[in-house]
Amino acid sequence: MSDDTLNARRPRVFVARRIFPEVVAQLREHFDVSTHDTDEPLSRDELIARLQGCDGVFVAGTEPIDATLLAACPTLRAVCSMAVGYNNIDVPAATARGVVVSNAPGVLTETTADFGFALMMATARRITEAEQYLRAGHWKQWSVDGMAGADIHGSTLGILGMGRIGQAIARRGVHGFGMSLVYHNRSRLPAEDEAALGARYLDLPGLLKAADHLVIVVPYGPTSHHLIGAAELALMKPSATLINVARGGVVDDAALAQALAERRIAGAGLDVFEGEPAVHPGLLEVPNVVLTPHIASASLPTRLAMCQLAASNLRAALTGQAPPTALNPEVLPLR
């Protein structure tokens, strides 16, 4: 063994969230690992303090990694997230400092699509509302239009954001439920992909007017902040539903709560919220919304796969290889 190898210190990694113990154990095979082993997020100051002297950090979609934090943690060389959405990380600021950033795309696509579809069905068929009605003891007799909702089969599915997850939801709708498909995206799908799904590309107002069930799957950022507000909701059919499995902030929750209360749309299914885990009080008051706590990717095998992908990215980044899903590979090789 060379003197260099003997003298080399193991890279230091901080895991900023409670994750699966087996993934921490895998990281310990390669790194000196310290952990914040609870679900309670660290404050910015605590996170900065814990990152001193660290080479890499394992985060979820929740820890804000911005220019100020990066400047305060000069030894950091890799920020690896187990989430696919990375609006919590200032990637250009990291790139400017030579810090590699990775997210976790792909491994959660089908699980998130399953959930988006489930939320759409629960919303259209009023499943949680009906359960609450039953539990509250209101079910006394059969009624011809009792808890009647909208059909999924044969209806028009609108997808806003036709990336991996949007396409996976579209496949379920078209091939499983005979839905017609309209979509809007920054760029159009290749003609053969549109043909395979029978997909019709529309501008945003056209999509809002055409969809019976609108599923939002766009990433969050300055250009998608309040992409759906009062004016956009006003374009939707009164019978339509809106499903958000993207990020809070894409929809103006106050405007949505008002539209739901006034029955300007029929219902909504929301897994993500502006300022979560807080939920706009107006959404908690209306019956025609299904609310879930940001769990679209939460099947156990998928959450484990997301953690393992983030750990693989850290291993690669800190051992001189290209992380499989780096967002800024241009900073490689690391300093």
Q: Does 101 contact ligand DGY by CB under 6 A? A: no
* Beta strand segments in the chain, E: 12-15, 32-35, 56-59, 78-81, 100-102, 156-160, 180-184, 199-201, 213-216, 241-244, 267-270, 289-291
CA distance 123 to 35: 39
Q: Does 84 contact ligand DGY by CB under 6 A? A: yes
CA distance 164 to 159: 12
Q: Which stretch binds ligand DGY (CB under 6 A): 6-14, 82-90, 92-100, 315-323?
A: 82-90
Q: Does 158 contact ligand DGY by CB under 6 A? A: no
Site string for ligand DGY, 286-315 (x = CB under 6 A): -----------x------------------
* Residues that contact ligand DGY, how many (by CB under 6 A): 6
Active site residue 247: yes
Tell me the HSE value of 226 on the side-chain side, using a 13 A CA sphere: 8
CA distance 258 to 283: 8
Q: Does 105 contact ligand DGY by CB under 6 A? A: no
Residue with smaller CB distance to ligand DGY, 59 or 211: 59
In this structure, what DSSP letter does residue 159 have? Answer: E
Q: Does 87 contact ligand DGY by CB under 6 A? A: no
Q: Are the beta carbons of 188 and 166 closer than 8 angstroms?
A: no
In this structure, what DSSP letter does residue 320 have? Answer: T
Closest CA to 241 of 118, 124, 112, 115: 124
Indicate which residue of 18, 44, 171, 276 is catalytic.
276
Residue with smaller CB distance to ligand DGY, 155 or 312: 312
Which residue from 16, 73, 76, 83 is in contact with ligand DGY, where contact means CB under 6 A? 83
In this structure, what DSSP letter does residue 213 have? Answer: E
Q: Does 150 contact ligand DGY by CB under 6 A? A: no
Active site residue 276: yes
CA distance 60 to 251: 22
Active site residue 188: no
Instruction: Mark 199-234 as b/e (b = at least 16 C-beta within 10 Å).
Output: bebbeeeebbebbbbbbbbbbbeeebebbbbeebbe
Indicate which residue of 126, 184, 247, 315 is catalytic.
247
To ligand DGY, the closest distance from the beta carbon of 116 in angstroms equals: 11
Which residue from 85, 161, 249, 267 is in contact with ligand DGY, where contact means CB under 6 A? 85
To ligand DGY, the closest distance from the beta carbon of 108 in angstroms equals: 6
Site string for ligand DGY, 61-80 (x = CB under 6 A): x-------------------
To ligand DGY, the closest distance from the beta carbon of 85 in angstroms equals: 3
Which active-site residues does the annotation give? 247, 276, 294
Name the site residues for ligand DGY (rule: CB under 6 A).
Answer: 61, 83-85, 108, 297
